[in-house]
């Protein structure tokens, strides 16, 4: 292909025809020799007469120019010009494709997949061997070259990981010489230098890197009473951005609770501040940059941002001027920076429904039954001992973790038996495990627990002599904790030490103000509850092994410990995709010897049709100008000339334009030769992959149970495909799915009017029934608005879909929800002796639901289900019904309402009997 600037030519030799234009100009300008003048008297008789047909002495210059331009446009058009042609990577040796595949790659992952497909297609045509290495998920063994077709088939399963690429051992590179295509995530990585040198030693290295800035969020925290999250960018974003605070509303439906703009102001760092009420802030589960699909653009929240409501009460009044002796003074000092404290009587604070109630030396509980109910429902009650508790009769007190002896124990006093006791190291199963105990913390008085067989099980902290210091017991869904010392410094120096607030934090009383340290998490096993994928989607962790607290505190996200929310007891810790301590995002810079593409990658556009059309338009103008100069445009023959011109314009308009993209012959033949189930792309590689796996599973079921033998499913290319060749289209809906163009909507409407069927799946039936429309449901409404969809209604029990192949009354997928089909006509009546009405004569053009059918149908290469459906036998039964619904759906598309024709059977039998 010849190149002139950004324009390439498929047949550049045709441009030589432009050299003939000057000669053509001279030929058109040539005139006959001047006539010889002869005087003839009889010419006087012709004076005053006018010729009906006027001919110009010579062609005007502007008409000559118009003709030359028409000819030049035709010559250039037939040369096959293409604006911004995509050049295939040249070379004859093996090709290695290296991709960072990190969270920073997710923002433009479809473009990277397209670039890899183009490189693999070019390699297949030239017979080159290829290999693929993902630096975020490096192979265990040395990479080996294979054929390009095998890698092309595996690309749909390739996805970015929610962590940064790791250092790659150059010893795992393939042997011999090869060229490299490196798809960069756009960020500077220290590990690249050695790997780039090793790759350049093997051959030519080409880098693909997007010019879009990388955006990320750091860990959220509390600052001056507000929720603050840092925002980072590799370059100032060209358009404004917002951060959305996402959480669950009181009905349990996840939604955006607040959003704030990011004020970069030409910088690469900003701070986003959410000043929200505690009730609303505590519902936030994550913060995300709107419009950016990346794990780095998501900041998960944990206990660090959830200030708990804590009620602190005591059995005595504070004495004026003696605050340090108050039973609650040190509790207020420890909890005020990290919790919202509530004052009032016990009955008042119970009505406020706090997260924690702390009772300092209260023996007589006036609202014991109400407090008991509050704890049973999941409340945390923490009690501190003191003189009142030591001298009270606690036999009827049911809100103690262990039975107590009457009286207290004095250690180190005038009548004591020894020196004050120190705290023993915390056991491994204690919530305080791993905390450092200061040497100056001692206990000189305490309340004693009655010996019992289960006393050890309830003890979570003890003194050096083995007597319990802190005990705990489960009560209903909640728990009760008792500190056997007072909350002030009368009985121990514990309230004066840094250990005191740490122990309260371990009991989930307060929130952390900073990132967790090793000591905060050590001694416990943390289990992942939710994990992030590379695109920033939060998913259930499933059966993932627990992580030691020390490893979780020190680890960066990676294959061993992925970003997500980890929990231990009542505490939660978030591990985000952006490594802790990241202060800035540095864009990648490559050596001058490495060619970098993709920074300003433009779309390839053929210009042949436009130029040929311009040339044809110039010729039409030439016809009009010629008719005008000859006087025939407005004369008696103008009607016929105008009709001929209009007919020519009509033929040109109706003829297919050369520039219009059309479905390839091979693809159209493959789709039209057999039954093909198609899926509509969403722009989300993971969802598109699930769609293809689901249609593959449904195709397998059809082959096993019916005479229908579908070909391999296909992904719809809405811009180029003729939709009439597809039997059925599955369209999953995502909240940020791009809308088709007007021309593509016209295609879809022709498909629906021509008898095609589209199954719209919002995949949200598990939550859609609890409140307002989900984001996917709202997006479906906007996507379906331009489509010619008939009135819809929930599927009636006598619809043909209930008995097309199997007898069904439910239509579940991974979830079980209501589906909508074309509403029956008002005059549809039930025929005598038939179980269903004579409904719509054709196939319902759309079926709408949110049951995630593709996930229920999806299977791997060995035919095993990929996603769980329900639990146990009930779940497998639901999967079976989902497969049966898929069979009924396809049979309904292929045969129409053939079951409804049975309403005519009685009449036909009666006529045959006559």
Written as six digits, the tokens of 813 are 């997928």
Mean pLDDT, the chain, whole residue set:
81
Lowest mean pLDDT among 30-39, 702-711, 896-905: 896-905
Higher-confidence residue of 11 and 350: namely 350
**418: exposed, middle or buried (Cβ count in 10 Å: 0-12, 13-18, 19+):** exposed
Q: 204-224 as b/e, with b when 16 or more CB fall inside 10 Å?
A: bbbbbbbebbbbbbbbbbbee
User: What is the model's pLDDT at position 323?
Assistant: 65
What integer pLDDT is reported at residue 760 of this predicted model? 92
pLDDT band with cut points at 50, 70 and 90 for residue 613:
confident
Residues 878 and 865: their CA atoms lie apart, in Å, by 13
- Which residues touch 250 (CB under 8 Å, ≥6 apart)? none
Cα of 64 vs its chain's centroid, Å: 59
Residues 129-152 have a mean pLDDT of 89
* pLDDT value of position 903: 45
DSSP secondary-structure letter at 51?
-
Q: In the prediction, which pLDDT does 53 show?
A: 60
CA-to-CA dists, residue 112 to 187, 533, 604, angstroms: 15, 18, 16
Per-residue confidence at 302, pLDDT binned at 50, 70, 90?
confident
Distances (CA, A) of 805 to 854, 871, 905: 20, 27, 19
pLDDT digit string (tens) for 511-555? 555 566 666 677 778 888 899 999 998 888 887 888 888 888 777
Alpha helix stretches (DSSP H) within 329-435: 329-335, 346-351, 368-376, 387-391
For residue 415, the model assigns a pLDDT of 42
Q: What residues are paired with 446 via a beta bridge?
A: 409
Is residue 480 within 8 Å of 472, Cβ to Cβ? Answer: yes
pLDDT digits (tens, 9 = 90+) for 281-290: 888 899 999 8
Tracing tokens 């009587």 back to the chain, one arrives at: 345
Mean pLDDT for 485-492 is 91
Reported as a pLDDT band with limits 50, 70 and 90, residue 299 is: very high
- Look at strands 215-217 and 525-532 and give their pairing: unpaired
Range of 1-15, 173-187, 530-544 with top mean pLDDT: 173-187
Which range has the worst mean pLDDT, 223-227, 398-402, 478-482? 223-227
CA distance 136 to 104: 11
**Is residue 829's pLDDT more than 60?**
no
């Amino acid at each position: 292909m010849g190149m002139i600037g950004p324009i390439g030519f498929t047949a550049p030799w045709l441009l030589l025809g432009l050299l003939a234009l000057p000669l053509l100009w001279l030929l058109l300008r040539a005139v006959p020799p001047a006539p010889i003048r002869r005087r003839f008297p009889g010419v006087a008789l012709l004076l005053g007469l006018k010729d009906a047909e006027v001919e110009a002495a010579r062609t005007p210059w502007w008409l000559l120019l118009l003709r030359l331009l028409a000819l030049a446009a035709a010559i250039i058009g037939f040369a096959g010009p293409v604006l911004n042609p995509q050049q295939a990577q040249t070379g004859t040796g093996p090709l290695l494709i290296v991709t960072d595949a990190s969270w920073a790659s997710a923002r433009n992952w479809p473009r990277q997949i397209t670039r890899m497909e183009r490189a693999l297609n070019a390699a297949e045509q030239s017979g080159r061997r290829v290999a693929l290495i993902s630096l975020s998920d490096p192979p265990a063994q040395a990479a080996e070259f294979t054929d390009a077709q095998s890698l092309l088939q595996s690309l749909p399963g390739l996805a970015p990981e929610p962590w940064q690429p790791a250092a790659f051992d150059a010893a795992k590179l393939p042997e011999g010489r090869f060229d490299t295509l490196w798809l960069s995530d756009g960020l500077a990585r220290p590990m690249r230098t050695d790997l780039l040198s090793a790759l350049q030693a093997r051959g030519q290295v080409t880098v693909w890197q997007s010019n879009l800035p990388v955006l990320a969020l750091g860990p959220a925290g509390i600052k001056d009473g507000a929720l603050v999250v840092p925002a980072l960018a590799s370059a100032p974003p060209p358009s404004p951005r917002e951060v959305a605070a996402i959480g669950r509303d009181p009905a349990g439906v996840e939604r955006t609770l607040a959003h704030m703009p990011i004020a970069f102001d030409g910088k690469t760092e900003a701070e986003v501040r959410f000043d929200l009420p505690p009730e609303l802030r505590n519902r936030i589960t994550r913060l995300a940059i709107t419009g950016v699909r990346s794990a780095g653009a998501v900041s998960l929240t944990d206990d660090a941002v959830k200030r708990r409501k804590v009620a602190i009460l005591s059995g005595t009044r504070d004495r004026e001027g003696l605050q340090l002796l108050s039973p609650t003074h040190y509790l207020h000092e420890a909890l005020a920076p990290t919790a919202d404290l509530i004052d009032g009587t016990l009955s008042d604070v119970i009505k406020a429904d706090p997260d924690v109630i702390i009772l300092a030396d209260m023996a007589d509980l006036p609202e014991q039954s109400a407090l008991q109910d509050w704890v049973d429902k999941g409340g945390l009650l923490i009690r501190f001992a003191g003189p009142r508790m030591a001298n009270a009769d606690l036999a009827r007190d049911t809100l103690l973790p262990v039975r107590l002896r009457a009286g207290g124990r004095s250690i180190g006093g005038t009548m004591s038996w020894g020196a004050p006791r120190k705290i023993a190291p915390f056991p491994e199963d204690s919530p305080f495990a791993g905390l450092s105990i200061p040497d100056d913390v001692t206990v000189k008085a305490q309340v004693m627990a009655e010996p019992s067989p289960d006393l050890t099980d309830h003890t979570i902290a003890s003194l050096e002599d083995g007597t319990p210091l802190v005990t705990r017991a489960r009560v209903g869904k909640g728990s009760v904790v008792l500190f056997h010392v007072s909350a002030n410094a009368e009985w121990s120096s514990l309230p004066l030490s840094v250990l005191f607030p740490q122990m309260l934090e371990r009991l989930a009383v307060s929130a952390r103000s900073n990132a967790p340290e090793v000591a905060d998490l050590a001694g416990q096993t943390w289990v992942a509850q939710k994990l992030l994928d590379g695109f920033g989607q939060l998913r259930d962790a499933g059966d993932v092994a627990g992580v030691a607290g020390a490893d979780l505190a020190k680890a960066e996200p990676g294959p061993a410990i992925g970003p997500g929310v980890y929990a231990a007891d009542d505490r939660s810790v978030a591990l985000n995709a952006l490594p802790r301590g990241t202060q800035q995002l540095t864009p990648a810079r490559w050596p001058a010897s490495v060619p970098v593409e993709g920074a300003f990658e433009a779309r390839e556009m053929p210009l042949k049709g436009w130029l040929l059309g311009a040339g044809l338009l110039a010729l039409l103008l030439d016809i009009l100008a010629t008719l005008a100069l000859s006087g025939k445009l407005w004369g008696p023959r103008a009607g016929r000339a105008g009709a001929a011109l209009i007919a020519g314009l009509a033929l040109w308009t109706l003829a297919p334009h050369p520039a219009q993209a059309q479905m390839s012959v091979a693809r159209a033949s493959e789709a039209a030769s057999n039954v093909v189930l198609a899926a509509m792309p969403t722009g989300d590689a993971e969802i598109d992959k699930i769609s293809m796996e689901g249609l593959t599973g449904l195709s397998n079921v059809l082959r096993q149970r019916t005479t229908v033998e579908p070909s391999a499913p296909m992904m719809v290319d809405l811009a180029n495909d003729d939709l009439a060749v597809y039997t059925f289209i599955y369209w999953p809906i995502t909240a940020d799915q791009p809308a088709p163009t007007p021309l593509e909507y016209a295609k879809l409407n022709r498909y629906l009017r021509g008898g095609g069927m589209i199954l719209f799946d919002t995949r949200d039936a598990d939550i859609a029934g609890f409140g307002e429309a989900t984001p996917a449901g709202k997006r479906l409404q906007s996507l379906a608005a331009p489509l010619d969809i008939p009135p819809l209604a929930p599927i009636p029990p006598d619809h043909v879909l209930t008995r097309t192949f199997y007898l069904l009354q439910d239509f579940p997928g991974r979830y079980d929800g209501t589906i909508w089909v074309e509403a029956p006509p008002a005059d549809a009546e039930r025929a005598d002796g038939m179980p269903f009405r004579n409904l719509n004569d054709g196939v319902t053009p759309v079926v709408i639901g949110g049951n995630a059918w593709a996930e229920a149908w999806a299977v791997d290469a060995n035919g095993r289900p990929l996603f769980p459906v329900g639990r146990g036998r009930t779940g497998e039964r639901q999967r079976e019904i989902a497969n049966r619904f898929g069979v009924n759906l396809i049979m309904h598309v292929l045969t129409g309402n053939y079951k409804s024709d049975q309403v005519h059977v009685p009449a036909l039998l009666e006529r045959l009997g006559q």
